[in-house]
Structure formats: C-alpha cells, structure tokens
Chain A
C-alpha cells in the first residue's frame, strides 16, 4: 500500500475505504468519483435505461453500508459490479412479479438494450449500436467489461457467473460481430 496520506485522487481504493471508515467524507466522494462512470457503463450493458443513475446510486449506498464485509480478494470495482448486477436482477424480478413480464432472459433482453436511442452518432457509431443491440446480454456484458474495464476473463467469469473459457468465446463472438457490422458496405 502506498502513502496513507496521499491525496484522494492518488490514494488506492483500500486507503480511501480506511479513511472513510474513520469519518472522512472526502474519501467517499473520491471513491464515488472513481467508480461511478464504469458502474454506469456496466448498468447500461445490463439493459438498464432510465434507471441507470438510480441503480448506480443504490449500488453505492448498498456497498458503503456493507464495506465492513468487503474483502480484497477482488477489486472494489468488481465488487461494485456484482452488487449492481444483483440489484438489477432484483429489480427485474420485482417488475416481473408486478407485471408478469419476463426479464433479462436472452431472447427478451435483446430489445431492452435501447439505451443508445437518441444518441447522436455518425454512421460508424450507428453500426456499432446496431451490432450491440444484436448481441446477447451475456455477450454484451462480457464485451463491455473487457473493452471498457480491461478485466481479465477469470474476473469477468465470476461476475457473469460463467466460465473463463466461455467468456473468452463470448468476447470473440461479440467483437467479430461488431467488426462485420463495421465492414458492411
């Protein structure tokens, strides 16, 4: 671990957690600042739409309420992703109970990834969007975690409850599909 009194931006997650546990609210702000955007990306890859911001906030609230239980076996970010995914599934289950709708299952969730609606984009971006809409949720999650976070396949496998080999295949299928969309004339 580095300098314990490092500036929040330079401090490690573990140092910031320790500071927050001693009552330093600036450390909490630094942690949220650091992980909010990746969490939002991940939430969007799960199919969250208007609820991304709320989901991210709930994730942080839940995580900070249980930081005592956080073990450094995985990174804080991966732990946050896990909480976020569980919250998302809980929401989908609640919605399903209320409206008798099916959620997050592959054939249904494909059409839920319309978070890109209204996104201003050039033709290339539109093609990427089209390609992503056709990915399965699992492919999309694996691809997002690999491309935006650079997580190793083993860590991704733990998050999406799959195997490392399967995640590698999901990633390669996803990138192949996107490449094909981009190369279509």
Chain B
C-alpha cells in the first residue's frame, strides 16, 4: 500500500487518535480517513502503538513522589484590595534612616530648648543687647555677666550655658561650648520600631 500523499491530513492523525482536534478539523480528517485506506491503516498503527507505549510505562506512586517533593518557597498572599505594597522608590532602609534622622533632630531640639528658653528669660534692658551671651558655671550665683565679661578661658565640661538672644548671634567660642555640651550627652531612642509580623499564608500545611 502506498503512503497517502496528503501530508497535512497525515500529520493530524496522531491528534485525531488523541481526540485533540477541534470540531471542524476533526470532521475534515475523519472525512479524509473514510476515503483513504493508507490513512486508515496508519490510524490503526497509531492506536496500537499508543497501547504498547502505555503498557511500557510503569505505574508510578503519586503519593511517594509528592512526599519527596521539596517544600515550596512560600509567597506572601494578600487579597488585592488589602495588598501591602511598598512605596515606590523608597527602600526600607531609607525609611529607617529618615526615622533616625528625625529622632536625632527632635533630641537636639529638646536639648537645646532650655538654653533657648533661658535666652528669652534673660535681662532685656536697654543696655543689654539681645545678642549678648553669658556663660555661667553650674551653681553660680545670679550674677550674669554680659558678653563683654566672658572669660577667654575655655569653659569646663560641666559648664552650663545661658544664652540670651538668637542663636545667630552666638559667638564662635560660645557655639563650640554649646556643641561640646550637647555632644557630652548620651541620646537614646525611646521608641522601638514596630515588629514586622510574619505574613499569613493561604492553605499552609493542609493536604
């Protein structure tokens, strides 16, 4: 028997045997097979071959294979409307940096505020310009020297500062003293970062 010369039809025969052809294609191929002895013989050979190949393949134990599978790398699952999306362009470490910077600013501001307050409490007579700065040792008496009386010797670490007027008017020496005082203080962040909870996974551990 000579082979069918209609390669297009012959190519469809395995799919016809598998039942994988769509309606129109199946009708066309079946119509051809009905009139072509070669394709009928080929379709029969394909059917025999499939049965043999099925018999060759041993049965496999699905449960054994599933038990041997590695655990999945669980993914975070959240419904779309509640999905937690990181803000675009801002990495977590950046957020932490911003928080740390903000906390530092707050601490510095809170430490500096008494000195600024004392600036406002100082004598503001006609003879005392707002820009005057006084450096007073702790425990000193109420005598507040004016800027003109500031000693040229560096103030000790325990020196308390009294600032009258705005910070813009502080002299370099006094500013250094103020900064040294601030640096000697130990600052800690009182608020711990919120704990990141483990995500809830769907269907975990079920079988």
Q: Which A residues have a C-beta under 8 Å from some C-beta of B?
A: 19-26, 28-29, 32-33, 36-37, 39-41, 43-45, 52-53, 56-57, 60-61, 64-65, 67-68, 115-116, 119, 121, 124-125, 128-129, 132, 143-144, 146-150, 168, 172, 175-176, 178-179, 182-183
C-alpha spacing A168/B12, complex, angstroms: 12
- Residues of B within 8 Å of A41, CB to CB, are 53-54, 56-57
Once the chains bind, are B52 and A23 in contact (CB under 8 Å)?
A: no
Q: A23-B72, A129-B52 are in contact. Are A60 and B14 (CB under 8 A)?
A: no
- Residues of A within 8 Å of B126, CB to CB, are none
Query: Is chain B's interface secondary structure helix, strand, loop, or mixed overall?
Result: helix
B51 interface residue per 8 A CB criterion: yes
Query: Is chain A's interface secondary structure helix, strand, loop, or mixed overall?
Result: helix
B193 interface residue per 8 A CB criterion: no
Once the chains bind, are A57 and B60 in contact (CB under 8 Å)?
A: yes
Q: A32-B62, A52-B58 are in contact. Are A150 and B15 (CB under 8 A)?
A: yes
Once the chains bind, are A179 and B41 in contact (CB under 8 Å)?
A: yes
B1 interface residue per 8 A CB criterion: yes
Q: A24-B206, A178-B45 are in contact. Are A150 and B20 (CB under 8 A)?
A: yes
Residues 26-67 of B, flagged 1 when their CB comes within 8 A of A and 0 if not, give: 000000000000000110111011111111111111111110
Residues 1-23 of B, flagged 1 when their CB comes within 8 A of A and 0 if not, give: 10100000011001101101000
Kindly list the 3 A-B residue pairs having the minimum CB-CB distance in the complex, ordered from nearest: A40-B57, A23-B204, A41-B57
Given contacts A22-B201, A116-B55, A132-B52, 14 further A-B contacts (CB under 8 A): A21-B72, A21-B74, A23-B74, A24-B202, A25-B207, A32-B66, A33-B62, A36-B62, A40-B60, A41-B57, A125-B55, A172-B10, A178-B49, A183-B41
